[in-house]
Amino acid sequence: MRSTNLLILAVAAGLTLAGCGAATTTSSGTGTPRAATGVRVLWMGDSIAGAQAPALEAALQAAGVAFKNATSAGGGNVVAGDHEVTAMAAKETWKTLKDNLASFRPTVIAYQITTYDWGTPRQQLSAYQKLSRTAEDAGAELVLVSAPPFKIDDFFKPHENAIKSAPAMAAKAAPGRYLDASALWGSDYAATKAQRAKDGIHSCQQGSAAFATWFAKQLGERAGFTPAAPAAWATGPWTGDERFAKLGCG
């Protein structure tokens, strides 16, 4: 039942992908994957992006796109800000990015704004501009995407203003390369459309599949590949990833 629901949700949300070649395309581990496109996506972000990674990897690999998950739980941010925790995490993010540029050689760097991109608007803008320059120097295209709405609990409350200002700074830093995901998620984390897990922050399999369908379409338009139909990957082995069990997903 869960597999059937995943497929229905991925397709029925108004996110149907182009079906060109879909008949011969399957997700990793379920058949013969589509021929390689030459597109290599480095996926960056925090644990929210991490929960989306299993579905995104399945969707992109089914389309012949190489994928590397470079997300980090409790970090993943590029904005150092003035907080000791975020400064330490940002330092690690930049170091890991440097390593991945050398070893993975991405053609696309996709960064989802993190819950830890705390800092002033000026600091946020500077960090996103640095990320843009880094991608350009590496010969990769940068895509920035907004985070889904999430519960602003006691931990995040002191940083709410920074969380709210980050999307505008990302859009300013990368004109034409910023994706507003509110069309998919809406703006209320508690609404059904947001598809949040019990914690009000992360997504379960259904939400991750919906994001992968939407985001693969956006990337395909920019990077020149045809996304695989959800039927090729949405019910694959990724649905059993341990991340979802830890979130209490069904």
Q: Where are the alpha helices (DSSP H) in the chain?
A: 2-12, 47-62, 84-103, 121-137, 160-173, 182-185, 205-223, 242-246
* Domain-embedded: residue 224: yes
- State the pLDDT at residue 33: 57
Q: Residues 128, 174: contact at Cβ < 8 Å?
A: yes
Is residue 246 assigned to a domain? no
> How high is the pLDDT of residue 54?
98
In this structure, is residue 76 part of a structural domain? yes
Task: Give the position of tokens 């946020």.
Answer: 124
137: CB partners within 8 A, 6+ apart: none
| Domain enclosing residue 197, as ranges | 2-240
Q: Are strands 108-112 and 141-145 parallel, antiparallel or unpaired?
A: parallel
Q: How many structural domains is the chain composed of?
A: 1
Over residues 54-79, the pLDDT tens digits come to: 999 999 999 999 999 999 998 999 99
Q: Which residues are 69's β-sheet partners? A: 43
Whole-number pLDDT of residue 35 = 65
- SS3 call for 41: strand
Q: How far is CA 233 from CA 21, 53, 64, 172, 208, in A?
A: 14, 13, 12, 34, 12
Mean pLDDT by groups of 10 residues along the chain of 250 residues = 46 36 33 75 98 98 97 96 95 98 98 97 98 98 98 96 98 96 96 97 98 98 96 95 94
Position 249 in a domain: no
Does any domain span residue 247? Answer: no
Percent composition of the chain: helix, strand, coil (DSSP 3-state, to 5): 50, 10, 40
d(C-alpha 144, C-alpha 34), whole Å: 26
Decide if 248 is inside a domain.
Answer: no
Tell me, yes or no, whether 196 lies in a domain: yes
DSSP 31: S
CATH code of the domain covering residue 188: 3.40.50.1110
User: Residue 250 has what pLDDT?
Assistant: 77
